[in-house]
Amino acid sequence: MEKLVIQGGTPLEGDVVIGGAKNAVLPLLAATLLADGKMTIKNVPRLRDVYTTIKLLEGMGVTVEVDDDFNITTDASTINSYVAPYELVKTMRASILVLGPTLARYGESEVSLPGGCAIGSRPVNIHLSGLEAMGADITVHEGFIRARAKRLRGARYVMEKVTVTGTENLLMAAVLAEGTTILENSAREPEVTDLADCLNAMGAKISGAGTSTITVEGVERLKGIEYSVCPDRIETGTFLAGAAITGGHVRTLKADPAALDSVLQKFRDAGAYVQTGADWIDLDMRGRTLKAVDITTDPYPGFPTDMQAQFMAMNAFSQGIGVVVETIFENRMMHVAELMRMGANIRLEGNTAIVAGMPDLYGAPVMATDLRASASLILAGLAANGKTVVDRIYHTDRGYEKIEERLQHLGANIERVNT
Ligand code: UD1
């Protein structure tokens, strides 16, 4: 089993180039199912979830070519199956993203029902009822979602909750539907806008992406294009948190500062000196005192749930008391118990964590329970006294490319071991 071994105490210093966004590339790869002809996705991060998506597309018969720069070219004309099997869905819930485009283009789709996961039950009812509103016939049988529709028709649909992949699924279905679809209470995340930009470049007629009302005029077909994935705002925030928690100085390059407004504000509140340019963010914590901050997660443009665990780790090392409230997922506090094993002073009341900052935490063996929890433990290990061993880092590899190499480049004492 691979683990990360970290000797804490070295401030991170230097530049790090940010990769393409995991949460953008997964819907973009699903969108290639809609293209007539070949389609190429560029700036793709080498992540476990991307390899899983390639496997999923290949399993459906799609021809997938990956070049030396990890640009991914797909040709869906060879498709011969409309099924996303349990073996893949269970390792990556985002497999549900093939449901909308496969149904819209081929008239049928079968996706294994994603079960619960570590951070909560995570239902897909909104994906399904939105497709039903567009005329799909949907049944759930023997653990599979089966969807059929000769041609979807446009509809006005109000999502009862803001859902990122739900919005993306319905968007990818609506682009080939007959007539106009209006998606109300849509997610406004930058990754949704990235998908809409890509679909529009393929010939779709989408307006309002990035707002809560998205309007789609259905078209007959979409063409294959080349498209480059937007920067990963969560990876960016995680490296900046590394500088903040270790008292260092990190500049993230090829980043998108505009997508991180709420996070950068919290870094400033925490005492960091933050500067931004068109595509870079510089966070300097040298000689400054880390202060605890209150965080409440919210859909974009609010504070992202995917940065909650990293700020929890920062608060654990700060001066003062910070209250962290998780409102998106029901069970996304599992890093708390692990941080407490390192000496963190945290009181958990349901989905609220009251964190009293400590001057020193000590290294310990800890276990990652999900992707962003793993990031918080790595951050804590970088700042703690002594040795931290982070177990179950397959979670980390789902969302961070070569994390140890890039942290080493910033001066961290971290290595991957196989025991
Ligand atoms: C996406 C991101 C994930 C991020 C999350 C919230 C991807 C691949 N993953 O996940 O990193 O943490 O957004 O920003 O983009 N819900 C329902 N019914 C549904 C769908 C969702 O009740 O049909 C609920 C969920 O249980 C959750 C909330 O809505 O409580 C938001 O979830 P959602 O935005 O759908 O998360 P994902 O798209 O799975």
pLDDT digits (tens, 9 = 90+) for 208-248: 999 999 999 999 999 999 999 999 999 999 999 999 999 99
CA of 164 to the centre of ligand 1 (A): 5
CA distances from 118 to 47, 121, 395 (A): 19, 8, 11
Half-sphere exposure of 206 (CA within 13 A, CB side): 33
Q: Are residues 263 and 123 in the same domain?
A: no
pLDDT of 114 > 90? The answer is no
Q: Are residues 243 and 377 in the same domain?
A: yes
Q: Are residues 258 and 215 in the same domain?
A: no
Task: Give residue 97's pLDDT.
Answer: 97
Q: Is 301 in the pocket of ligand 1 (CB under 6 A)?
A: no
Task: Give residue 119's pLDDT.
Answer: 63
Cis peptide bond N-terminal to 301, omega within 30? yes
Confidence of residue 118 (pLDDT cuts 50, 70, 90): low
Contacts of 395 (CB under 8 A, 6+ apart): 368, 369, 370, 371, 373, 374
Q: Are residues 370 and 383 in the same domain?
A: yes
Structure tokens at 294: 């209150």
Q: Are residues 206 and 240 in the same domain?
A: no
Q: Which atom of ligand 1 is nearest to the CA of 306?
A: 12
Q: Are residues 171 and 220 in the same domain?
A: yes
Q: Are residues 333 and 199 in the same domain?
A: no
End-to-end CA gap in the chain: 6
pLDDT of 413 > 80? The answer is yes
Residue with CA closest to ligand 1 atom 22? 123
DSSP SS3 for 190: helix
CA of 271 to the centre of ligand 1 (A): 31
Task: Give residue 123's pLDDT.
Answer: 87
Task: Give residue 419's pLDDT.
Answer: 84
Q: Is 305 in the pocket of ligand 1 (CB under 6 A)?
A: yes
Name the domain count of the chain: 2
**Rounded to the nearest 5°, which phi and psi values hold at 299?**
-60, 155
Q: Are residues 90 and 106 in the same domain?
A: yes
> What integer is the mean pLDDT of 378-389?
98
Last residue of a domain, one of 211, 228, 245: 228
Q: Are residues 10 and 122 in the same domain?
A: no
Residues 136-148: tens digit of each pLDDT: 999 998 889 999 9
Task: Give residue 359's pLDDT.
Answer: 86
Q: Are residues 224 and 235 in the same domain?
A: no
pTM (whole model) above 0.85: yes
Task: Give residue 80's pLDDT.
Answer: 96
CA of 39 to the centre of ligand 1 (A): 27
> What integer is the mean pLDDT of 339-366?
96
Residues 48-93: tens digit of each pLDDT: 999 999 999 999 999 999 999 999 999 999 999 999 999 999 889 9
pLDDT of 321 > 90? The answer is yes
- Of 54, 117, 334, 356, the active-site residue reads 117
CATH of the domain at 367: 3.65.10.10
Task: Give residue 84's pLDDT.
Answer: 94
**Is position 117 annotated as part of the catalytic site?**
yes
Last residue of a domain, one of 210, 228, 246: 228
Structural domain span for residue 358: 2-19+231-418
Last residue of a domain, one of 228, 257, 277: 228
Task: Give residue 139's pLDDT.
Answer: 94
**Which among 131, 163, 212, 398 is the best mutation to test ligand 1's pocket, defined by most ligand atoms within 8 Å of the CB?**
163
Task: Give residue 234's pLDDT.
Answer: 98
Contact 407, 25 (CB under 8 A): no
Q: Are residues 105 and 185 in the same domain?
A: yes
The response to whether 295 counts as a known ligand-binding position is no
Q: Are residues 179 and 59 in the same domain?
A: yes
Confidence of residue 115 (pLDDT cuts 50, 70, 90): low
Contact 198, 175 (CB under 8 A): no
Confidence of residue 117 (pLDDT cuts 50, 70, 90): low
Structure tokens at 278: 């068109």
Structure tokens at 403: 């994390």
Residue 205, judged by CB atoms within 10 A of its CB (0-12, 13-18, 19+), counts as middle
